[in-house]
Structure 1
Amino acid sequence: MKSYFKFSTKIILVFLFLVNFHWESYAQDYYGSTYTYKPVSLGITFAPNMSWHRYGTGVDIEKKWEIGYGYGLLADFGLSENYYLATGFLINNIKSTVDVGPDQLSTTYKTQYVEVPFGVKLKSTQRYYRSYYGQFGFTGGVKIAGDKEVEDMGREEFDAKTFRLGLAIGGGIEWQLDHKLSMVTGLTFNNGFTEILDDGYGKPKDSYLAFNFAIFF
């Protein structure tokens, strides 16, 4: 009887050890899991933005920010597990309002660009199925449409500059949804450093703050 009790006790202890080992392995996998590093990731994005014009010092113009948006494709090319080259192909709509002229007429400018971003993305090690990233780079754009709407005068085309270059910096979180699917949320500040038009009241440049939403496959 005693030998049977000792044998049963050993079986129970072995069973508890295996259960505990399995649970610890599961817990470590859940709380510290990282999926396989992917050398190339392609995704789609939608990015609402708040944009405005910037004028040089000494130019007395009232400026107002407006809501625009961008959408398109993104691509991350891995250099290592934590370093990537980030690029894509985007359609970006930028909109801003200024009060110009002796009568301070409110004029809303709308421009649409085909843009190619190019930058370096730095990612943290993945924990809790998410990682953090920071990104720095440039955007180059070609105008495909441009019009302005002057108060009490209606809408008309305006001669926007053909090319736009900007300096972009941002960051956010990448959420791992499964082994091949992730969602990105973040913010990007894009500071244009080329003139967009010459309207006689200065040579404005534009900037915008974009709220980035993307799905990578």
Structure 2
Amino acid sequence: MINKTQSKHIIVLMSLFLFTSVLKAQDDRDFRFGFKVSPAINWVKVKDGRMNSGATGLGFAYGLMGDFRLSENYAISTEFLITTFKSNVKSKPGDTFTRDNDFRTYSNLDYHYSLKYIQIPIAVKFKTKEIGAITYWGQFGIIPSFSIGNTVVSSAAPAFGLDEKYNPNVNDNNKYDFKTYEDNVNALRVAMLIGAGIEYRISGNTSITAGLRFDNGFTDFLNNKKVNAINNGLGLHLGVFF
């Protein structure tokens, strides 16, 4: 697993690479600017610990994008996005957890995460020559993400059916041994991106683009030694270049 220090080194190296590309730009044609939106399907992969992956969630991203042209077929692409990941983790079947203030035993823990990040993807973009008005592209790179807020809705059920369903969030002053799964979200997330799509030139420098992109997290999004979990996404990329 990549730690925070290693992640920062990667971001610095990619930023230097991007800065070098900017210096190579000789005129306005070497840089393109646009806007994008991206609805996505999100999910969590639990690699280790007492929790399981739960249901998928629907996320969304929006923001700015730019291409720094290196040659006719290659570019450095970067974006500035506000992104929301929605996903779910739950306890393993048969596992029980103790509530500290009354020592009752609970099972079926369920956590629904809504995590908001600032993302700055940096990728190498490969493009075909224009065929008619259409260009095909693919991209590969990394996505450093910085947490700017999260919401977690959690619930549990008594292990022996003695009470109604219990919501740990009702009183934040109470402490439970499973509450750490709610609050401990890492501030930094790093992912690999792989994408492909098409671009259609409308007129002049204006074009629309569409494609699919896989956001493959490779750092643990939970700051909890008891659980190792990564969040992933598959998004529909829709944008306009000017």
TM-score if structure 2 supplies the norm length?
Answer: 0.70
Partner-residue secondary structure (3-state), 1:161: coil
Aligned-partner Cα distance in 1 for 2:120–2:137: 20
Q: For 1:147 and 1:79, locate their aligned partners in 2 and report how far apart those are by CA, in whole Å.
A: 41
Deviations 1:16-59 (A, max 9, x none): xxxxxxxxxxxxxxxxxxxxx93111000000111111111676
Secondary structure at 1:38 match in 2:
helix
Deviations along 1:44-82, one digit per CA (max 9) or x if unpaired, are 000011111111167661421100000000000000111
The whole-number CA distance in structure 2 between the counterparts of 1:87 and 1:64 is: 30
Partner of residue 57, structure 2 = 66
CA-atom RMSD in angstroms: 2.0
| 1:158 matches 2:162 | no
In the other structure, the counterpart of 1:108 is 112
Which deviates more, 114-123 or 102-111? Answer: 102-111
1:90 Cα deviation after fit: 0.6
Work out the percentage of aligned pairs sharing the same amino acid.
Answer: 30
Relative distance call for 1:146 and 1:85 in structure 2 (3 A) is same
Match of 1:129 among 133, 156, 162: 133
**Residue of structure 2 in register with 1:189 after alignment:** 214
State the secondary structure of the residue aligned to 2:221: coil
CA distance, structure 1, for counterparts of residue 240 and residue 152 of structure 2: 33
CA contact (8 A) 2:214 2:235 kept: yes
Note if contact 1:146-1:159 (Cα within 8 Å) is conserved in structure 2. no
Counterpart pick for 1:83 among 63, 74, 95: 74
Q: Which runs of 5+ in 1 are unaligned?
A: 1-36
Structure 1 position 110, deviation (Å) = 1.2
- Mark the runs of 5 or more structure 2 residues left unpaired by the alignment: 1-27, 97-106, 156-165, 173-181
**Is 2:164 the counterpart of 1:139?**
no
- The answer to whether the 8 Å contact 2:44/2:53 transfers is no
Aligned structure 1 segments of 4 or more residues deviating by more than 6 angstroms: none
Q: Does 1:215 align with 2:223?
A: no
- Over alpha carbons, which structure has the higher Rg? 1
TM-score by length of 1: 0.78
**Number of aligned positions between the proteins:** 181
Structure 2 distance, partners of 1:163, 1:139, is 11
- Match for 1:97 among 73, 88, 91? 88
**Change in 2 beyond 3 A, CA 1:141/1:60:** closer
Query: Would you say 1:54 and 2:45 are equivalent positions?
Result: yes
